[in-house]
Structure 1
């Protein structure tokens, strides 16, 4: 019974499992709780829930359910004294359907009341005030295992085609698996043209398409059969990379797969193709961490800003996406400097990846990762650091004094000159 008023601000956001597809009705006494419920209802972690908010507190709930079925979850705000509240809850219990959970939001940190409510079957007693993420976390815990067991979903997408987002995603997954010694899955969601199989020198007979087109069969056993081993710590969920069929996917096409990966893999990197559709937006909004890969040109700048503005609206309680500037320093090519790019999008760059044609070309043509071709490369160190940051293992210092500062300064001076 805690207020949990301090949600993570800075560093990595807390891992909170999305709530299942349930109906929720809240009965409020104050406008502050109405505002909290409305904010929580539009959070990505409650995307599957159906929420209704009422005024009137416990008394209104009693009247509402005298002759009506109860939802999966009832949330009650109360200011009443202990005896009155217990009496009201006993009356409400007479109308509750089996399986309905009840959460009480109170304004007194009363351990005796907490124990009495729990003994009477109340699922949780939460003390106000608390922030949105802490509130959602308490609701999530009613339906899921402890947050420590949840895997982290990292989505990587290009601001435009040809910026090397897939290469970044694959090397990032390799770095997380190798540097953190963490079981990791790289999932290639570009069904017609995915390159993860080529980059890892794998040609699995099955992959992500088998799960996409049979969502009712998706479980941990099926996903485990579809994975192919790239190393002791890294597994690949490959795309078919064929165009013998059309991939007009529904919005929820990858929901079941991602739910299984979140529950079974500590780390999952999603290689999201550069397209804008219902399912790609849903994948990006639902990820725990986002990385947008851009090139130092005007089209990438415009598209990056568009993506940031759009995703912020759907991820109000999450950190801003990380922005990586790739292929910086192509000889004789006019470029936007990293400093100017960061200033225009109003976000510090998470990484500046220099143009190293020989290194990237050798890795791609040999079906290897950069760390296999040149283990001591500064670029490999950059991927390792970024992987730690995205996994919440080590907070990077700000770019002005951190690992990527020399790259930013070097290329800013070069382009300015």
Structure 2
């Protein structure tokens, strides 16, 4: 596994860094029906890969082999979808004649995108004049397909959807929540950007303690009353923690059990993303339908782990799962926390990273005094000691997650036999 690109396993290709960057700016496609008619595998494969992207989760895509002639035959006895993707290797004159014939069977509300093999400005103008939504020249990438669909069906006048960043620990107690809260605070204070922290651990969440807040309402009201949820109601549930930072606090009580359907938090996250540019999701270390759903749909995933064997195994399992479920996204970011605990046997950060094929975004040293004082006083690390090296590391993480900087390259180190030990059950 490379930290630069995922092998999708569909046509043996990889999604490039350029495609990853392009995809990050795209908003989810609405619930539409799409049918593609492809003449070559070179176009069919990226179209199929686009259909598996999380941004297309609500759309229904069907790929047929065969070009415009096949589409004409198909729609003589079938209704047309919201969008038709057509690949054609025909010469311009023949293509225009075929499209005229196809229009006799198309619903007027259906959109049509043509993927052609002729770079002809006159053809492009004639296609647009005749009502074709877009003309794209082959070869095309998966990002090209999602981008052109987004251009047609996502309202350009709507406010941009905010980015969601999900933090999860490889084990309980590794400090994922503390890092999530501090990174959110750093984003809001460094960049003056509006940030919302959502504490999804309704039973045992610590965000209210870390931010020294005791709101009467919070995330429970949003989840248990979805019929009331909109931007106005969400704003009433937020607790202001800093000038640009708000908290959707967990009740942290055991008055009820918190069993949720897989999509229980979808409306909440969608509403929050319409309200703020940055949404930090503090995901508890449990594996359920709803936590899996949240992680798969997040724009960015951050795994926090301590340098121990069980953490390595769990991180490996998570990374492999996300590779399968998010084939068109970059791998999760890795933070190694609590490094250098006195007298504790540890896996070196280089062996830990190389065993996973992931370069850690950061390695945070064990600083019990700093973290303990901050937690006991309900303050962020930056408020306790702004010049501490750990605070500098948190600020670097904030820069990386907001796209203001990249993970620094790390020298290769020897690959340990750690995962082999796991597979053989050795201690």
Question: What's the TM-score, normalizing by structure 1?
Answer: 0.89
User: Is the 8 Å Cα contact of residues 188 and 239 (structure 1) preserved in structure 2?
Assistant: yes
Q: 2:344 aligns with which of 333, 346, 349?
A: 333
Alignment pair present for 1:288 and 2:299: yes
1:408 counterpart residue number: none
User: Is the 8 Å Cα contact of residues 24 and 299 (structure 2) preserved in structure 1?
Assistant: no
Alignment pair present for 1:384 and 2:384: no
Q: 2:190 aligns with which of 175, 179, 185?
A: 179
1:363-387 deviation digits (Å, cap 9, x = unpaired): 1111111011111111111111111
User: Is the 8 Å Cα contact of residues 157 and 292 (structure 1) preserved in structure 2?
Assistant: yes
1:314-345 deviation digits (Å, cap 9, x = unpaired): 12222111111111122222222222212222
1:109 counterpart residue number: 119
* Residues 1:211 and 1:32: Cα distance change in structure 2 (over 3 Å): same
Size of the aligned set, in residue pairs, is 397
Aligned counterparts of 1:63 and 1:329: Cα–Cα separation in 2: 68
Aligned counterparts of 2:331 and 2:45: Cα–Cα separation in 1: 23
1:59-112 deviation digits (Å, cap 9, x = unpaired): 222222223222121111112233332333233333333432211111222222
Aligned counterparts of 2:20 and 2:39: Cα–Cα separation in 1: 32
- Secondary structure at the aligned position of 1:302 is classed as helix
* Residues 1:225 and 1:142: Cα distance change in structure 2 (over 3 Å): farther
1:124-144 deviation digits (Å, cap 9, x = unpaired): 211111221232122122222
Query: RMSD across aligned C-alpha pairs, in angstroms?
Result: 2.2
Q: 1:311 aligns with which of 322, 339, 363?
A: 322
Q: 1:321 aligns with which of 315, 320, 332?
A: 332
Q: 2:91 aligns with which of 81, 87, 112?
A: 81
Aligned counterparts of 1:109 and 1:179: Cα–Cα separation in 2: 46
- Secondary structure at the aligned position of 1:149 is classed as coil
Q: 1:198: how far off? A: 1.4
* Residues 1:354 and 1:311: Cα distance change in structure 2 (over 3 Å): same
- Secondary structure at the aligned position of 2:25 is classed as coil
2:423 counterpart residue number: none
- Secondary structure at the aligned position of 1:103 is classed as strand
- Secondary structure at the aligned position of 1:142 is classed as helix
Question: What's the TM-score, normalizing by structure 2?
Answer: 0.87
Aligned counterparts of 1:41 and 1:310: Cα–Cα separation in 2: 19
Aligned counterparts of 1:13 and 1:27: Cα–Cα separation in 2: 23
Aligned counterparts of 1:367 and 1:127: Cα–Cα separation in 2: 56
